[in-house]
Structure formats: C-alpha cells, structure tokens
Amino acid sequence: MRLVVDGAELPIAQLGPDFVILETSADLPVPAAEIVLQVDTVERRWPVRLPDGLRASELRTRIAKGQAARELGSPREPRPEGRGEMTFRPASKNSVSATNPLMPTGGQTVPW
C-alpha cells in the first residue's frame, strides 16, 4: 500500500477507514493524495482528502473521501469505482468449498 502525494510515493504501514499510518513520518501541508493498493498484479487507486495534511508529529493521518483525479486537475483518468463479478470453478472433493457450506460452489457467480 502506498500514499501518493504530489508524485512522491510513501509506504503505508496501516490503513483504516478514516486514517493511514505511514511507515516513515512526513511533514507536508497537502490537501489531497491518492491511495494505491496492489495485490499480486491487480492495482486499485482512490483519491483521499487529508484534512490535516501530513504531520510528522502525529502517528495517524486523518483521511476522508476525496475527489476524482479529473476534478483535481490531474490528466490521469480516474479508475472506475464499480465492482465486478467472480465466477468460481467447480470444487474438488478436497477443496475448502466442498467441505464448507458457506463458500460458493463451482459455477456460481457472485459480486465482489
């Protein structure tokens, strides 16, 4: 996870619903940033507001829902916010979903 601020990428140690904790503290009076979450080859980005900016003296940095990148004047197009669907392959007798009734079974399409 990273917090992108004015082109600089700051590693995130912890992310909560209304705060981030950076791995290294920084003092930047910036009003907005972008959070980047990457899992394997899938990357998701979303804009956040920084009501208090970044303060080295504070462990937690408050965040709030931000504006789309286009509204901030960035040439980058914002990524779609919608979710997708996932289709599960048929379960083998040794798989978790074959033994767990709460797991989707093969062929089901579920929202994520």
pLDDT tens-place string over residues 24-76: 988 999 999 999 999 999 999 999 999 999 999 999 999 999 875 444 444 44
Token pair of 11, please? 């590693």
Q: Which of 89, 94, 92, 93 is nearest to 106 (CA)?
A: 89
Q: pTM for the full model?
A: 0.59
pLDDT tens-place string over residues 64-106: 998 754 444 444 444 444 444 444 444 444 444 444 445 555 5
Domain spans of the chain? 2-72, 83-112
CA dihedral angle for residue 70, residue 73, residue 9, residue 80, rounded to 10 degrees? 0
Q: Which helix (H) or strand (E) holds 13?
A: strand 8-15
Q: Which helix (H) or strand (E) holds 50?
A: none
Cα 73 from Cα 61, distance rounded (Å)? 23
